Structure 1
Amino acid sequence: MSAKPFAFPIKVIPSDIDFMGHVNNARYLNWVQDTVLAHWQKLAPAEEVASKAWVALKHEITYRKPAFLHDDVIAETVLEKIKGARSFYNTVIKRGEEVLAEVQSMWCCLDSETHRPARISSEVAEKFFGLKTRQPSCGE
C-alpha cells in the first residue's frame, strides 16, 4: 500500500564534502530527514503540520556510490505504510539514474505540545495514499 513517490531536489554544498572529496555519509541522513519532512509539509493539512512533529526511530542506509560537489542529486521517497504513530519510508537518493543510496526509515509522529506519540488519522493518511476511509457496515 505505497503512496506515490515524492521527489526532493538536493543541492550539494561545500560543507557536505568530507576529507575524501565526496559527500560525508552522515549528510545522507540530513537529506532523508529534509525529504520526509518536506513530503509531510506538502501533503498534510496545515493544522496537522502545525500540531505534529516527527522523530526518527530507525534508519537503515545502503550506500551505493559517492556524491560530489555540484552533483545534481534528487531524493525520492515513498511512504510505505502507517501503523499507529509510526510511518515507514523508503528513500532512494540518485544522481540521474545512478542510485547513490537506499534508505529505509521508521518515524514516530508526536503531538507538538505534549511530545507524546500521536496517531495519524485516516483522513490524513488518505492524503498520502489516496484511499477512501472504509466506513463500517451495519453490525460492526
Structure 2
Amino acid sequence: MSAKPFTIPIRILPDDIDFMGHVNNSRYLNWVQDVVLQHWQKLAPAEEVASKAWVALKHEITYRRPAFLDDEVIAETVLEKIAGARSFYNTVIKRGEDVLAEVQSMWCCIDSKTLRPARISRDVAERCFGMPKKQERFTGE
C-alpha cells in the first residue's frame, strides 16, 4: 500500500503549446516536478522543508494523449517508496478521466547547505507521508 495521492491543478499557458498545437512534451516533466515538490512542501514539517531540497535522478514517462490550451488538467502523484535518500513517485497527468501521461520518477533528497544526499527520517516518512512501518517499504535508517 502506498501513501495517499496528492493532486494539483495544472494551468496550461500559451507558451506551453508547440508547433503541432498541443502542449509540448517537455512541459509534462515540469508538471511532475511541480506536483512532487508541492507534495513535499505541503506535508513535510517546516524545518524539513527548510533544510532539504530535491533533485530528480530519473523520469520514465509514457505519453497517452495530447493536452491543449483550454484543457482542465490535473497532476496526481503518489509517493510509492523511500529508500535512503531516494524517493520513488508515480505521477499521472489527467484531463477528466483521460490519462494524458504516466510518469515514474526517482528523486534524491539533499541537504540544502551541503548539497549532499540526506535521508528522510522514519518519523517524517510515517507521520507525514503515510508510509507503512514495514521494513521493505522504508529502508532509510
TM-score range, shorter chain: over 0.9
Q: Deviations over 1:31-77 (max 9, x none)?
A: 00000000000100000000000000000000000000011000110
**How many residue pairs get matched?**
134
Q: Secondary structure, in 3 states, of the residue corresponding to 2:129?
A: helix
Cα offset for 1:88?
Answer: 0.1
Cα offset for 1:123?
Answer: 1.1
Who is 2:29 aligned against? 29
Query: Under a length normalisation based on structure 1, what TM-score does the superposition of the two structures give?
Result: 0.92
Query: Under a length normalisation based on structure 2, what TM-score does the superposition of the two structures give?
Result: 0.92
Q: Secondary structure, in 3 states, of the residue corresponding to 1:26?
A: helix
Amino acid of the residue matched to residue 40 of structure 2? W
Counterpart contact for 1:122–1:133, Cα < 8 Å: no
Counterpart contact for 1:91–1:103, Cα < 8 Å: yes
Larger Rg: 1
Question: Matches of 1:108 and 1:11 in 2, distance apart?
Answer: 27
Question: Matches of 1:27 and 1:99 in 2, distance apart?
Answer: 16
Gaps of 5+ in 2: 136-141
Q: Secondary structure, in 3 states, of the residue corresponding to 2:102?
A: strand
Q: Deviations over 1:4-29 (max 9, x none)?
A: 00011101110110010000000000
Amino acid of the residue matched to residue 75 of structure 1? A
Counterpart contact for 1:88–1:107, Cα < 8 Å: yes
Amino acid of the residue matched to residue 78 of structure 1? V
User: 2:80 aligned with 1:80, yes or no?
Assistant: yes
Q: How does 1:1-140 map to 2 (within 5 A)?
A: 1-126=1-126, 127-129=128-130, 131=132
Superposition RMSD on alpha carbons, in Å? 1.4
Gaps of 5+ in 1: 135-140
Cα offset for 1:132?
Answer: 5.8
Counterpart contact for 1:123–1:133, Cα < 8 Å: no
Counterpart contact for 2:2–2:131, Cα < 8 Å: no
Counterpart contact for 2:52–2:111, Cα < 8 Å: yes
Counterpart contact for 2:81–2:131, Cα < 8 Å: no
What is the percent sequence identity of the aligned residues?
81
Consecutive aligned runs of 4 or more in structure 1 exceeding 4 Å deviation: 130-134
